Structure 1
Amino acid sequence: MEEYLIVLNKDEDSISIINIEKKEEIKKIQTDHNPHEVIVTEDGKKTYVTCSLGNTIDVIDNDSFEITKRITHEDFNFPHGLDIVDNGKKLYVASTYSEKIFIIDTQTDEIIKHFPTYQKLSHMIEPSPDKKTIYVPNIGSDNITIIDTETEEITGHFPVGKGPEGVACSPDGKYVYVANQEDNTLYVINRKTLKPDYKRRTGECPIRIVFSPDGKYAFIPNRYSRDVSVIATKHKMKDQLVPWEIKRIPIGIWPGGVCFNESGSMAFVANNKTNDISFINVEKLEETTRVKAGIHPDGIAYLKK
């Protein structure tokens, strides 16, 4: 089996398929306008890409690396964050400017439900480890919307910092990590109390959070300070285990999308303004190389097939 990166090049309407071992692009796919975020299905057969300024979702067959369908809706207005729940059967999508959530059947690739969040700039989708809850950061409302995936309804909202965008659930299911881009902070939210147990400083303009597969680290790309904050999730300090930033890894200009390989030995960060991908050795917490991508690479996903 081979390992690939699926990299969205926002400002040339394309996707670079990069072979990780060869460290080179093996194919380029033309997409609808402004591809932003990407998710691979749990069986690895398909990839979904939100084309935010095209107001579409492109569906890619991972055997051929060809677009097989383009999903549209009159209420798509900057479709952005997306993720998969219900044993791979349903795709949730956040449409930022229409401030609505869409649910898509992954068997038929048809929209089966949509509803408003009644919040401002609903931007990303993050499921809990058990896939029973979805968290949606609302950049303009400084809060997070909670969705129950069994009832497919909103159950509440909770406040966070200014301009929340990056959000990720810890693999142990205890916390929701939230990156607040306007006040350069990380909130570690207790999922039971919905209040922050910890608040941490980050680099400048943190916009994503991705956990390593083992949950040891959370990687946070900081757009303006050109680095990645490495949060050790259980750092020992005064006989306590606490989340703590242990390093900032300097990389390219405007880092954005982040993903890990299956083993967690490598992380990959898309650098929007240097048009390349940083390969990071997770054991050493060091950038090892950069691989060329297209213009303004951002969304990124890992695929093994």
Structure 2
Amino acid sequence: MASTSSAAQSAYVTNFGSNTVSVIRLSDNAVTATVGVGTGPRGVVVAPGGAFAYVANQNSGSVSVIRTSDDTVTATVTVGAGPQGVTVTPNGVFAYVANFNSSTISVIRTSDNAVTATVPVGAAPFGVGVTPDGSRVYVANSGAGTVSVIRTSDNAVVATVTVGSSPRGVAVTPDGAFVYVANLNSNTVSVIRTSDNVVTATVAGLSLPYGVAATPDGARMYVANFGGGVSVIRTSDNVITATVGAGSSPLGVAVTPDGSRVYVANFNSANVSVIRTSDNVVTATVAAGTNPAGFGRFVSPVASPPASVPTLSTWATILMALLLAGGAVLIVQRRYAVCS
């Protein structure tokens, strides 16, 4: 299970052509480490708590587990063929990996990095997203133009939703009410209502949409267009309100926990663009490895604060309260004895 990391908040950007992960410190956008992983890394997720990052290595059929406290690979897990997207349940207990060439999902138990289940889904699964309550995983099947809905309690596919052509990225709104799916070859984004798994809107006007990410307040979706630029969708009415220039062939996109910035992995320009969300201006460009992908939630979440340890003064206060309570009980007992 993932635990709280002491490492600074960072972005973990997979470099498909370098077989590495660039670690970018969010406070100053400095690259603090370059971590060697498997072959052709594309999908990545930083687990809740921020202690580990999970990297799907497309060409080696494996997932690398990076401990973020020292950016060391602590495990390599064999999964299906051609793994792409990866997500971790909100409680940190399981990772779900989409195996493109196997048309399956591998379920990894994070406590020991064992594969505990293999779930058949549609053809060529790519992106994955999990609901905030952890009850459902949504899988974009790029070869079928569908989304499989997996019930995590028993890993059964409970619904299949038709979307656009060659769906890639998946993002669930923070309230869990909707799922946004980027359809690469349709140049659209499908909006699925999770209560009944019905497509309620289709957003047009994109250019080879790939990665997609929600702001923490759920008000906007940022979509990386492999054909150029990052589209901003207002979720209240599913209108594109801005298109932000980035590097060449934006692929992955992730939002910082405070919602102030968006990090965009530019596949063909070997860099990462940083967008300020208040005015959708690119404020920094960070050099990365060859073919940065960053497909998934590659930015560290807010680490949970450590449990507080009572101080001596706190213990003294607790003891005094107990003594006063005990004294009050004795007084009541004596009065009761006198009255009776």
Q: Aligned residue for 1:125?
A: 128
Aligned length: 294
Percent of residue pairs bearing the same amino acid type: 27
- Structure 1 residue 194: deviation in Å? 2.6
Q: Which has the higher strand share?
A: 1
Q: Within 5 A, what are the aligned runs for 1:96-175? A: 96-117=100-121, 119-175=122-178
What SS does the aligned partner of 1:256 have? strand
What SS does the aligned partner of 1:123 have? strand
Structure 2 letter corresponding to 1:271: N
Change (3 A) 1:86 1:272: closer
What SS does the aligned partner of 1:213 have? coil
Structure 1 letter corresponding to 2:56: T
Tell me if 1:273 matches 2:273. Answer: no
**Paired residues of 2:146 and 2:164 also in contact (CA < 8 A):** yes
**Aligned counterparts of 1:62 and 1:189: Cα–Cα separation in 2:** 33
Q: Aligned residue for 1:231?
A: 233
Deviation larger for 79-88 or 138-147: 79-88
- Provide Cα deviations, 1:141-191, integer angstroms capped at 9, x if missing partner: 111101001121111201111111122122222212121111101222222
- Provide Cα deviations, 1:192-239, integer angstroms capped at 9, x if missing partner: 343322222132100121001111110001101x101100112xxxxx
**Aligned counterparts of 2:176 and 2:47: Cα–Cα separation in 1:** 21
Q: Aligned residue for 1:215?
A: 218
What SS does the aligned partner of 2:294 have? strand
Q: Which has the higher helix share?
A: 2
**Aligned counterparts of 1:105 and 1:67: Cα–Cα separation in 2:** 17
**Paired residues of 2:90 and 2:132 also in contact (CA < 8 A):** no
**Aligned counterparts of 1:2 and 1:98: Cα–Cα separation in 2:** 36
**Aligned counterparts of 2:15 and 2:269: Cα–Cα separation in 1:** 12
- Structure 1 residue 21: deviation in Å? 2.5
Tell me if 1:63 matches 2:60. Answer: no
**Paired residues of 2:119 and 2:155 also in contact (CA < 8 A):** no
Gaps of 5+ in 1: 235-241
- Structure 1 residue 37: deviation in Å? 0.9
**Aligned counterparts of 1:134 and 1:192: Cα–Cα separation in 2:** 13
**Aligned counterparts of 1:173 and 1:22: Cα–Cα separation in 2:** 32
**Paired residues of 2:90 and 2:133 also in contact (CA < 8 A):** no
Q: Aligned residue for 1:239?
A: none
What SS does the aligned partner of 1:208 have? strand
- Structure 1 residue 86: deviation in Å? 6.1
Gaps of 5+ in 2: 1-6, 304-340
